[in-house]
Amino acid sequence: MGGLLASGCGGEHRNTGGESAGSSVRGGYPVSVTDCTGARTTFSAAPRRIVTSNASSLELLLRLGAGDRVIGTGFPPGKGTLPGALDARAQRVKVLGRTVIPKEKLLGSGADLYIDTFAAMGGMGGSGTGDAPTAEEFEAAGIRHIYLKSTACAARSRTPVTDLSAVEADITSLGAVTGTSARARELVAGMKQKVDAVRKAVGGVPESKRPSYFFFDYDAGTEQPTVTCNRQLANAVITLAGARNAFADCDGDHRQVGWEDVIARNPDWIQLGVRDRGSEAANKEAFDEAERWLRSNPATKGLKAVKEGHLLRIGSEATTIAGVENADTVEAIAKALHPGEVG
């Protein structure tokens, strides 16, 4: 599922995370990337006016040092939701849509590149919601349209997602497209180092001894749980951490099930997957709320994980959306589930 097809030869700009890359890019071009169907988009030079569909692709560009070229975003990150200095930079990006960017606003944005994080691929649509631009409309507006394949193409995958190679390929592709390949290599190397350390520590634990794990998507609603299936990025995070996704037999990315299905799986561990509220206090309250619900609801209070207090407070975004922090989540889960093996 790697996004990078080929790149030309030439020098590249080295950037260690600042915002200066956009003003002096010397990437090796041409660079080609593919979408979920294999259609190719070729860049002869670095894009200068980028729009991102949501906070995930925006954060990756900021980490790559290409954030000064982002002229707008949809699904903007709430204040305080991105780590460290990234937050202040993200707050300066123009908001084109609180959710999906309206079609007319996207096409009239003046962008030369639109990065789609979670698009349904049917008809090259936007985010699978509303009246999305067609490929022809993007072309007429002079906008290249590419995808973060690790998330946008997840449901189309023919096999379960069990590693972060697609995320790493997305970072590599964005680095090549934006002329920040050196920084992309640094980010990918950092992810690999963390994940490889966990893999080495828990690799000897047989499958039958690995605890079962349920990602409780609290914000998706509690009346009928939405579970993460084996094509979702969270399946890879859980697997790499030395656990067994309780719904790994579900083909696809997400599915709604009944609480009786969760009870039948009776997971050893449950992750309280709440979305970032923007502050430590607000996040704590959200985690508290999710835990209270599990402990008070007749359908869930008898679950093994609830009774034993095996409830992990790790946010949704770093588990289910492509990013550098996926590796941090692998490490955090592994430390909780395998404290004797992972330091």
User: How much is the pLDDT for 340?
Assistant: 83
CA distance 94 to 315: 25
Instruction: Quickly state the pLDDT bin for 44 (edges 50, 70, 90).
Output: very high
Per-residue buried b or exposed e for 69-80, using 16+ beta carbons within 10 Å of the residue's own CB? bbbbbbbbbbee
- Domains 4-187 and 204-337 in one fold: yes
pLDDT at residue 22 tops 50? no
- pLDDT tens readout for residues 252-272: 889 999 999 999 999 999 999
User: How much is the pLDDT for 118?
Assistant: 74
- pLDDT tens readout for residues 100-159: 999 999 999 999 999 998 765 343 344 444 578 999 999 999 999 999 988 888 777 789
Greater model confidence, 57 or 13: 57
Per-residue buried b or exposed e for 107-131, using 16+ beta carbons within 10 Å of the residue's own CB? bebebbbbbbbbbbbeebbbbbeee
Mean pLDDT of the chain: 88
- pLDDT tens readout for residues 161-198: 999 999 999 999 999 999 999 999 999 999 999 999 99
CATH architecture, range 204-337 = 3-Layer(aba) Sandwich (3.40)
pLDDT at residue 25 tops 60? no
Instruction: Quickly state the pLDDT bin for 3 (edges 50, 70, 90).
Output: very low
Q: Kindly state the average pLDDT of the residues 42-70.
A: 96
Q: Kindly state the average pLDDT of the residues 88-110.
A: 96
User: How much is the pLDDT for 127?
Assistant: 43
- % pLDDT > 70, the chain: 88
For 4-187, CATH gives: 3.40.50.1980
- % pLDDT > 90, the chain: 75
CB 207 within 8 A of CB 39: no
- Ranges of each domain in the chain: 4-187, 204-337
Joined together, the tokens standing for residue 41 give 């988009």
Does pTM surpass 0.75? yes
The Cα-based distances of 148 to 18, 132, 310, 333 in angstroms read 22, 17, 33, 24
